[in-house]
Amino acid sequence: MEGAGVTLVLGHRLGLPPSRVRRLLASIGHEAKVQDLLERSFLPEELKLRYAGVVADRRQR
């Protein structure tokens, strides 16, 4: 069993609905893509940090 399968089993053992676990996995994947995009962008470092902060704030909502 790999990655998502293990996470789904763990979520089940913790009593979490599979839909919630899948949303969490999708969110983590999205964050990795955003971080990669920011690292490769031509934005000034200050804007990269501000944008990363906005993404982090939205994630916690």
Between CA 1 and CA 49 the distance in angstroms is: 37
Q: Which domain, by its residues, includes 33?
A: 3-59
| Interatomic CA distance for residues 35 and 59, integer angstroms | 13
Split into its structural domains, the chain has a count of 1
Residue 15 Ramachandran class (φ > 0 left, ψ -120 to 50 alpha, else beta): left
pTM for this prediction: 0.59
d(CA 5, CA 35): 24
pLDDT per residue over 4-60, tens digit each?
A: 788 888 888 999 999 988 888 888 888 889 899 999 999 999 999 999 999 889 888
CA distance 27 to 23: 6
Q: Rounded to an integer, what distance in angstroms lies between the CA atom of residue 26 and that of residue 60?
A: 14
